[in-house]
Amino acid sequence: MIKKDTQDRTETELMAFRKQIDEIDDTIINLLKERINIVSRVGEYKRRTAPGRCPIRPAREAEMIRRIIAKFENSQFLPAAAAAIWRIIIGASTSVEANLTVSVFTPDRDNDYFWMAREYFGPFIPIIKQPHIKRVLGDIMDGKAAVGIVPMLRSADSTFWWTNLVQQGNDIPKVFARIPFVYNGTPPRDAPSALAISRLAPEPSGNDCSLMVLEADHNTSQNKLQSAFTNARLDATWINIATLTPSVRHHLVEIKGFVTLEHAGIEMLMNTLGSSVINLSFIGAYAVPVILNNGNTSHESKSLQAAFSGK
């Protein structure tokens, strides 16, 4: 049997540890309160200088998560856990800046995207469930939701919902993030993933993939288009092709890096293809997800779309 004096000493030592933990918790609580006060002031500034705009800064968020992961590498506190905590903090902070209702594609008996949205934005964010992707896009356009969550683009998709993003104007939704952003271990090829879209302008985070839709004459071969991208030094992966009219094909292309219509390679591409291209649209970009393996970070440089689809 353990003697009473030994038990008392053990309990005293544990109480000392618990007191230290409580003191640290109090410090964290006070710092979070201080942080949210600053965030509130940022929200006021954004509402004054850019009223009605979605407050999310996807590149800033990606940079923050990468920084947090780097701070916790090789520590006893798992980087994946730290990243999850900061995603909650970011979501809570953004909801203070503005209403952050999220519309999520939730087909019959499939809640994968719902739970991904919960994990990414936080369990406190209002969510609208929609059975069709076009209704998600409609919620954003009608102002019912600030963000929409839709399935990751895949070659097998025949809904071609992405063609709805091929429009002119600043209010047209753009892809701005891919979720999950952090993988604790290499994901299997069939792992569910989603894209976040909103009426905001994507920004470079330092390690990105861009999405473009190229409308080309139906007589222009995919091989010719791919060669033109290569000659323009654009690392492109074909995702899907939609034939909405007999004379035009819409080519959905993912390009490594942050590439907009103002990129020098795009000008070279258009000069090469000439009249073969009817239109080229930038429909968004996202920060490349982080893969954690045994506590170490691997920022995938190649397209995860290619990895998941087996290309």
> What is the tens place of the pLDDT at every residue in 55-68?
899 999 999 999 99
CATH fit for domain 41-47+55-203, picks 3.50.50.60, 3.40.190.10, 3.40.640.10, 3.20.20.80: 3.40.190.10
Q: How confident is the model at residue 306 (pLDDT cuts 50, 70, 90)?
A: very low
Q: Which residues contact 260 (CB under 8 A, 6 or more apart)?
A: 210, 266, 282, 285
Mean pLDDT of 160-168: 89
Return d(Cα 64, Cα 89) in angstroms, integer: 11
Return d(Cα 285, Cα 256) in angstroms, integer: 10
Q: Which residue has the tokens 């779309």?
A: 305
Q: How high is the pLDDT of residue 3?
A: 65
The amino acid at residue 102 is: V
Query: SS3 of 197, please?
Result: strand
Q: How high is the pLDDT of residue 103?
A: 98
Q: How high is the pLDDT of residue 150?
A: 97
Model confidence over 211-247: pLDDT tens digits? 999 999 999 999 999 999 999 999 999 999 999 999 9
Model confidence over 63-114: pLDDT tens digits? 999 999 999 998 999 999 999 999 999 999 999 988 889 999 999 888 999 9
Q: How high is the pLDDT of residue 124?
A: 93
Q: Where are the domains of the chain?
A: 41-47+55-203
0.85 exceeded by pTM = yes
The amino acid at residue 30 is: N
Return d(Cα 88, Cα 123) in angstroms, integer: 8
Q: How far is CA 247 from CA 157, 194, 215, 237, 269, in A?
A: 21, 31, 10, 23, 21
Angle between helices 222-231 and 264-273 (to 10 degrees): 140
Burial (CB count <10 Å: 0-12, 13-18, 19+), residue 51: exposed
Return d(Cα 210, Cα 256) in angstroms, integer: 6
Helices (H), 155-221: none
